[in-house]
Amino acid sequence: MHFKPILSAAVVCLILSDFTQAAGISNGIVHKSSGRLAAEAIAVSYRESQERFLQSSKDVENCPTLITDELRAEIAAYQPVANQIMEAVVNGAWKSKTYDALHDLVDKYPIRQSGHKNLEDSIDYMMEKMTEYGFDNVRGEQVLVPHWVRGEESAEMLAPHQKKLRILGLGTTVGTPQEGITAEVLVVKNFADLDAKKDQVRGKIVVYNQGWLGSYGATVAYRSNGASHASQYGAVATLIQSVAPFSLDTPHTGGQNYWDWENVTHIPTACITVEDADFMLRLQEKGETIRVHLKMLDYNLPMTTSRNAIGEIGGVAIPTEYVAVSGHIDSWDLGQGAMDDAGGVMISVMALAVLKDLNLIPKRKLQAILWTSEEAGLWGVDDFAKQHLDILSNYSAVFESDGGTFKPLGWTLQDQKLLAASLIEEGVPGLSNNNEADKYFWYHHTEADTITMMDSVELDLNTAMWAVSSYVIADLSVKLPRDDSPAKTVITSNDISQHL
């Protein structure tokens, strides 16, 4: 697909007084928001999506807005700068640099798991890069993070057939004894099914076959809570159907919680493939008795120190106000974590690098923030919100990319379940790159999340969009107006970006 470098950078001023209003403008640029007021989006729309953009902006004009005509005009005057940035990234000297920097990172540090040395090495590497690009105040702010270790893992169906099962232990899972465990399987379709069969659970391995429930947010509850739920009825382990809308027999890992570490027996828990969960359900429905041998030598170590890596440009004129662009540097221990979320990290760093190179230095401090330990439970961003609570009111916006860097479509206003949730909760307007992420969950948390599935042209477009928008917001004469009335905490379930 070919994109013209010319964009219509226009402001979509959205002050969403409630969720209903947000839903009323839910097509196009913005398709979701919390009820939190004060989401401001600078929509950068490519020529191809102009029609869609205009449709949205017409709707938006009917919204009450804190953005004055004067401010609109000020933003519109940045069009030549936006064109300059787009030209540099899409056709000029910065073309394909994001992709190149990305494979340099992920080929060197393919596995950047919370608690592990490789993550820290990758953070050092990215801080060196930010220094090389000439960012100011490059630093790593310390955070305590979980340290879970995947040991040897295997599973085999012993009856009614012999079959190796592909599994991946879930983050924080305990292991089995060294020799593994062998038990009969009970397949359930959902939590209600499990509750109904609770008298049959004791001593068994519970297999969840919940299917894809229309969204990640709805489906992931089985991965997060499945072990605890089955443990209370005496299950010895759980195997969860991978959270994926499409499968080529690939298991998908992810985090899980033992609700209540004191009172729930911690049982081993892993994902199996969509296909194997379906197979076992069919066998059970045919009256077969299924037995599985499961061996998982996974374990948890004490919390350890990691870092949020931060570099910035600008801020000479207004040193006490900020804009952040961000992604998370940690990944699972599979593939290369190129999509999740080295792509988000790299567009954030390259956005500032290209601005610096073009000598576009904003009035406010524009920060690239590389959050640590997102996959283990948002540890980096939560800590940042606590450490910097006193200045969060001076963030004009936080941008986060953690839902893919495919072809951009515009913006998504962020709610409180996402990567930067703890900042947004404090009232910082949050923006994500809405992109053509239909295949995101095909690759998510699997061995297949590598640079091979990423596209250089699409990455450039994301970098350009990130650079234009963050620069303009950071350079305006005023901080983006925001409504500081209390959050209404509306959370949408159709939420592709929640992917712990």
Compute the CA torsion angle 184, 190, 195, 200 (nearest 10 deg).
-10
Tell me the C-alpha distance between 471 and 362, whole Å: 6
Per CB under 6 A, the segment of 3-11, 114-122, 284-292, 389-397 that binds ligand NAG is 389-397
Nearer to ligand NAG, 253 or 396 (CB): 396
Closest separation in Å from C-beta 258 to ligand NAG: 11
**Residue 200 interacts with ligand NAG (CB under 6 A): yes or no:** no
Number of residues that bind ligand NAG (CB under 6 A): 9
The two structure tokens encoding residue 333: 């221990």
- In angstroms, how far is CA 96 from the centroid of its own chain? 23
Per CB under 6 A, the segment of 315-323, 405-413, 452-460, 484-492 that binds ligand NAG is 315-323
Closest separation in Å from C-beta 361 to ligand NAG: 17
Nearer to ligand NAG, 87 or 426 (CB): 426
**Residue 232 interacts with ligand NAG (CB under 6 A): yes or no:** no
**Residue 289 interacts with ligand NAG (CB under 6 A): yes or no:** no
The catalytic position among 321, 374, 400, 458 is 374
Nearer to ligand NAG, 122 or 228 (CB): 228
Nearer to ligand NAG, 8 or 394 (CB): 394
**Closest alpha carbon to 332 in 244, 384, 407, 254:** 254
**Residue 390 interacts with ligand NAG (CB under 6 A): yes or no:** yes
- Cα angle vertex 190, ends 188, 193, to 5°? 65
**Closest alpha carbon to 29 in 48, 65, 7, 57:** 57
**Residue 262 interacts with ligand NAG (CB under 6 A): yes or no:** yes
Helix (H, G, I), strand (E, B) or coil at 66: coil
Nearer to ligand NAG, 114 or 396 (CB): 396
**Residue 495 interacts with ligand NAG (CB under 6 A): yes or no:** no
Closest separation in Å from C-beta 260 to ligand NAG: 5
Closest separation in Å from C-beta 369 to ligand NAG: 17
**Residue 394 interacts with ligand NAG (CB under 6 A): yes or no:** yes
Helix (H, G, I), strand (E, B) or coil at 249: coil
Tell me the C-alpha distance between 194 and 213, whole Å: 17
**Closest alpha carbon to 453 in 437, 466, 467:** 437
**Residue 260 interacts with ligand NAG (CB under 6 A): yes or no:** yes
**Closest alpha carbon to 330 in 320, 321, 340:** 340
Is residue 268 within 8 Å of 174, Cβ to Cβ?
Answer: yes
User: Could you tell me which residues are beta bridge partners of residue 412?
Assistant: 432
Output 159-164 pairs: Cβ under 8 A, ≥24 positions apart.
159/288, 159/289, 159/290, 159/291, 160/283, 160/288, 160/289, 160/290, 163/276, 163/279
Closest separation in Å from C-beta 322 to ligand NAG: 9
Nearer to ligand NAG, 310 or 358 (CB): 310
For ligand NAG, the binding residue among 162, 178, 320, 359 (CB under 6 A) is 320
DSSP notation for 440-490: HHHHTTSTT-SGGG--HHHHHHHHHHHHHHHHHHHHSSSPPP---SPP---
**Residue 12 interacts with ligand NAG (CB under 6 A): yes or no:** no
Nearer to ligand NAG, 332 or 395 (CB): 395
| 374 is a catalytic site residue | yes
Closest separation in Å from C-beta 171 to ligand NAG: 21
For ligand NAG, the binding residue among 321, 333, 341, 458 (CB under 6 A) is 321
Residue labelled with tokens 């027996």: 265
Q: List CB contacts of 190: < 8 A, sequence separation 6 or more.
A: 208, 210, 222
Closest separation in Å from C-beta 86 to ligand NAG: 30
Nearer to ligand NAG, 179 or 262 (CB): 262
Closest separation in Å from C-beta 390 to ligand NAG: 5
User: In angstroms, what CA-CA distances link 84 with 304, 345, 351, 357?
Assistant: 44, 23, 13, 12
Kind plus residue range of the DSSP H or E element containing 220: helix 216-231
Q: List CB contacts of 291: < 8 A, sequence separation 6 or more.
A: 157, 158, 159, 182, 183, 184, 185
Q: Is the peptide bond before 193 cis (omega within 30 degrees of 0)?
A: no
Nearer to ligand NAG, 102 or 398 (CB): 398
Binding track over 342-381 against ligand NAG, x by CB under 6 A: ----------------------------------------
Closest separation in Å from C-beta 485 to ligand NAG: 19
**Closest alpha carbon to 230 in 187, 168, 285:** 187
**Residue 118 interacts with ligand NAG (CB under 6 A): yes or no:** no
**Residue 318 interacts with ligand NAG (CB under 6 A): yes or no:** yes
**Residue 391 interacts with ligand NAG (CB under 6 A): yes or no:** yes
Write out the catalytic residue numbers: 374
Positions in the binding site for ligand NAG (CB under 6 A): 260, 262-263, 318, 320-321, 390-391, 394
